[in-house]
Amino acid sequence: MPWHHIADITDLAEKPVIGRECAGRWIAVYRLDDGYFATQDLCTHSFARLSNGEIVDGHIECPAHFGLFDIRTGKAAGSPVSCDLDTYPIRVVEDRIEVEIE
């Protein structure tokens, strides 16, 4: 599967989550203490962009109805969400952040 350049490290220097369109999908890219992570950006509950939400203890809180997802695994972790997020492998090559998307 190909790797796609989705952001630079500097893009996440001041904000811990950003949303990007990449390979025809909306992806949220996160900076946590232990590295970078990527999930689908659209909430599985309804139409909301998770990259507009807040990070709370390793989870992304949806800005629409405050559902929670584990950023590292994509697991739904708080009402009203019940369907998990897609997650994507991520790597850093020099100052570039890349995600693996089919």
Q: Which residues of this protein are in contact with ligand FES, per CB under 6 A?
A: 43, 45-46, 48, 62, 64-65, 67, 80-81
Nearer to ligand FES, 6 or 62 (CB): 62
Measured between alpha carbons, how far is 76 from 73 in angstroms, rounded to an integer? 9
The alpha carbon torsion through 48, 52, 58, 64 (nearest 10 deg) reads -40
Compute the least distance from the CB of residue 22 to ligand FES, in Å.
21
Nearer to ligand FES, 61 or 98 (CB): 61
What is the enclosing helix (H) or strand (E) of 40?
strand 35-40
Q: How far is the CB of 75 from ligand FES (least distance, A)?
A: 14
> What are the DSSP calls for 43-96, one per residue?
-SSSS-BGGGSEEETTEEEPTTT--EEETTT--EEETT--SPPPEE-EEEETTE
Please state the closest distance from residue 8 (CB atom) to ligand FES, in A: 28
C-beta closer to ligand FES: residue 23 or 46: 46
Smallest gap from Cβ 90 to ligand FES, in A, equals: 22
